[in-house]
């Protein structure tokens, strides 16, 4: 029993990582209706920028804020330069563009900062929280920031004009345009926000998994799994889904032999396939209804 509780708590701690990434995935999905396969690499690149700033002697929180701002601008610029001109291209062309973006970011990061593994500082320190060995201060801080982010997003979408406009643009672009919402800029804004959230996720994850150009691929799959589990249209669901995926991963690793160490990514695969087959909308998502 004690082992079970310990593993659940540890699962929640790793789940916080996935929750963060899942949140970024859902953000961009609601904004543009696509899954961004370059999401992880965008987060990785932002984290490298933060690392560079910190190495130059910028205080952590200043670097944090600067990175979020730079990532936001970067996201908007990527949308304007690359995706806006091809907005009406078939969905497969978009997937290919994501792939192109992914290889460019990985390769450039590897070129500038090389492929060696770097440590990334944590603002919360790595000491165990309240002297208990279950959860470290950084993991607690990570959960805290994820939740703050979630609440902020909720208020943004629920109570601000821009948030409402963004939801309208995603929901029904044509009608939104007719009532004066600048749909294409709302999409750019969605990209910016997703990049910024990705940057936060990257900076929170980096102290745990270390910083290197390929750090995000595995995590992105878990992020996808979390987002699917919670429902691709629900930010809150995505966060909960991320935590659940973390717990499932840890429990499966402890209690099912062989699978534990060797088949971790397969667990994510199973979660994705199972959820999509049994409840395609996810736990909290809306089922997509199609007009015939």
Partner 1 sequence: MSVQTENLETAAEHPALAADMVTKPFGRDRTIGIAIGVILFVAAIALPFVTKSFFVFQVTMVLIYAIAILGLNLLTGFNGQFSLGHAAFYAIGAYTAAILMDKAEISYVWTLPVAGIVCFAFGFVFGLPALRLEGIYLALATFALSVATPQILKLSPLEHWTGGVQGIVIMKPDAPFGLPLNQDQWLYFFTLIVTVLLFWLAHNLLKSRTGRAMMAIRDNPIASRSMGINNSIYKALTFGLSASYTGIAGALGAIVVQFVAPDSFTVILSIALLVGLVVGGVGWIPGAFFGGLFVLFVPNIAEQFSKGLSGAFYGIILMGLMFLMPAGVAGFIAMLRRKVLRHEG
- Choose, by CB under 8 A, the member of 93, 116, 126, 160 that binds partner 1: 93
Contact 239, 36 (CB under 8 A): no
Q: Closer CB to partner 1, residue 129 or residue 265?
A: 265
Does residue 173 interact with partner 1 by CB under 8 A? Answer: yes
Q: Comparing C-alpha atoms, which of 250, 253, 259 is closest to residue 14?
A: 250
Biggest distance spanned by C-alpha atoms of the chain: 59
CB nearer to partner 1: pick between 162 and 276: 276
Told to check if 78 binds partner 1 by CB under 8 A, we report: no
Residue number, 55 or 266, with CB nearest to partner 1: 266
116 near partner 1 (CB under 8 A): no
Q: Which stretch binds partner 1 (CB under 8 A): 10-18, 81-89, 154-162, 191-199?
A: 81-89
If binding is defined by CB under 8 A, does position 162 make contact with partner 1?
no
* Residue placing its CB nearer to partner 1 in the complex, 137 or 265: 265
Is residue 22 at the binding interface for partner 1, with CB under 8 A as the rule?
A: no
Applying CB under 8 A, does 268 fall inside the site for partner 1? Answer: yes
Compare residues 124 and 224 and give the one whose CB is closer to partner 1.
Answer: 224
| CB of residue 277 to partner 1, shortest distance in Å | 5
DSSP the chain: -HHHHHHHHHHHHHHHHHHHHHHHHHHHHHHHSS--TTHHHHHHHHHHHHHHHHHTT--HHHHHHHHHHHHHHHHHHHIIIIISTTTTS-HHHHHHHHHHHHHHHHHHHHHHH-SS-B----TT-SSBGGG-SSSBHHHHHHHHHHHHHHHHHHHHHHH-HHHHHHHHHHH-HHHHHHTT--HHHHHHHHHHHHHHHHHHHHHHHHHHH-B-TTTHHHHHHHHHHHHHHH-TT-HHHHHHHHHHHHHHHHHHHHHSTTHHHH-HHHHHHHHHHHHHHH-TTTTTPPPP----
Name which of 104 and 140 has its Cβ closer to partner 1. 104
Minimum distance from residue 96 beta carbon to partner 1 (Å): 5
262 binds partner 1, rule: CB under 8 A: yes
Residues 185-224, mask of contacts with partner 1 (x by CB under 8 A): --------------------------------xx--x--x
**Contact between 164 and partner 1 per CB under 8 A:** no
Q: How many angstroms separate the CA atoms of 51 and 40, rounded? A: 16
Minimum gap (Å) between residue 64 Cβ and partner 1: 27
- Taking CB under 8 A as the criterion, the residue among 80, 84, 118, 264 binding partner 1 is 264
Cβ–Cβ under 8 Å, residues 191 and 98: no
Q: Which of 191, 102, 240 is nearest to 199 (CA)?
A: 191
Per CB under 8 A, does 121 bind partner 1? no
Tokens of 280: 């395609």
Query: Nearer Cβ to partner 1, position 6 or 108?
Result: 108
Instruction: List interacting residues with partner 1 (CB under 8 A).
Output: 34-35, 37, 82, 85-86, 88-93, 95-97, 99-104, 106-108, 110-111, 173-174, 217-218, 221, 224-225, 228, 258, 262-266, 268-269, 272-273, 276-277, 280, 290, 292
């Amino acid at each position: 029993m004690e082992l079970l509780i310990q593993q659940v708590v540890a699962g929640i701690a790793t789940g916080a990582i996935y929750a963060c990434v899942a949140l970024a995935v859902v953000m961009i999905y609601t904004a543009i209706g696509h899954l961004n396969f370059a999401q992880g690499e965008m987060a990785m690149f932002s984290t490298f920028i933060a690392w560079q700033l910190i190495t130059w002697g910028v205080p952590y929180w200043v670097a944090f804020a600067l990175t979020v701002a730079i990532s936001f601008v970067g996201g908007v610029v990527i949308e304007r330069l690359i995706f806006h001109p091809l907005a009406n291209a078939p969905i497969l062309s978009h997937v290919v563009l994501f792939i192109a973006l992914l290889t460019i970011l990985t390769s450039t990061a590897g070129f500038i900062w090389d492929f060696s593994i770097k440590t990334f500082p944590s603002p919360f320190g790595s000491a165990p929280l309240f002297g208990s060995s279950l959860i470290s201060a950084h993991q607690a801080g990570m959960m805290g920031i994820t939740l703050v982010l979630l609440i902020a997003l909720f208020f943004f979408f629920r109570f601000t004009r821009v948030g409402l406009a963004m939801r309208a643009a995603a929901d029904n672009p044509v009608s939104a345009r007719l009532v004066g919402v600048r749909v294409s800029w709302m999409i750019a804004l969605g990209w910016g926000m997703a990049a910024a959230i990705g940057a936060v996720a990257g900076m929170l994850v980096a102290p745990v998994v270390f910083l290197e150009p390929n750090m995000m691929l595995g995590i992105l799959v878990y992020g996808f799994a979390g987002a699917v589990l919670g429902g691709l249209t629900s930010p809150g669901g995505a966060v909960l889904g991320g935590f659940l995926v973390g717990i499932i991963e840890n429990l499966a690793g402890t209690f099912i032999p062989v699978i534990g160490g060797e088949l971790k990514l397969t667990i994510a695969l199973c979660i994705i396939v199972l959820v999509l087959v049994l409840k395609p909308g996810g736990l909290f998502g809306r089922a997509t209804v199609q007009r015939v």
